[in-house]
Amino acid sequence: MASYQKALIAVDLSQESNEVIERGLSVANGCQVSLMHVIEPLTFAYGGDIPMDLSEVQEQLQNQAQDKLFKLASDNGISVDDCQVVVGQPASEIHRIADESDIDLIVVGSHGRSGLALLLGSTSNGVLHGANCDVLAVRVHPSD
């Protein structure tokens, strides 16, 4: 079995992100690793219900996410040059970046949802079913 050449670790910036990164790095076993976070546009959440320009708020969210992602990268020995924060629908953006970068392993966290939450879908499920490469869904355990 050939080893992986390029891995993409997608995190949600929750407390469990380190767990996902650590597992991804252990499986990636020395290959080139990229770290990413996807922010859903505020217009997805609020649509046209709020009669105001949300671009400044969106930019602040992106800057905060980038700071957190850079900190996670630094704490785990990943170069900030290999990090990116993108805006869009998480599964679609992860697929896009993976395809554009010739990624052969995507690592995402999975919260193990069941019942109604599972029926409504999850990012890890969406990534798994649309990826053109291997996907590792790391079962994370929420911090109490």
Q: What are 69-123's pLDDT values in tens digits?
A: 999 999 999 999 999 999 999 999 999 999 999 999 999 988 655 444 444 457 8
Q: Residue 86: inside a domain, yes or no?
A: yes
Residue spans of alpha helices (H) in the chain: 17-28, 42-46, 55-75, 90-100, 116-120, 123-130
Q: How far does Cα 134 stand from its chain's mean position?
A: 15
Structure tokens at 110: 């999975």
Confidence of residue 125 (pLDDT cuts 50, 70, 90): confident
Q: Residue 19: inside a domain, yes or no?
A: yes
Q: Residue 41: inside a domain, yes or no?
A: yes
Counting the structural domains of the chain, the total is 1
**Regarding beta strands 6-10 and 105-110, do their DSSP bridges make them parallel or antiparallel, or are they unpaired?**
parallel
For the ranges 15-19, 48-52, 97-101, 123-127, which has the lowest average pLDDT? 48-52
Res 118: pLDDT: 41
The string over 12-29, giving b where at least 16 C-beta atoms fall within 10 Å of a residue's C-beta and e elsewhere, is: bbeebbebbbebbbebbe
Q: Between these two residues, 53 and 125, which has the higher pLDDT value?
A: 125
Q: Residue 30: inside a domain, yes or no?
A: yes
Count CB atoms within 10 A of the CB of residue 123: 19
Q: Residue 110: inside a domain, yes or no?
A: yes
Q: Residue 144: inside a domain, yes or no?
A: no
Domain limits for position 93? 6-139
CATH number at residue 24: 3.40.50.620
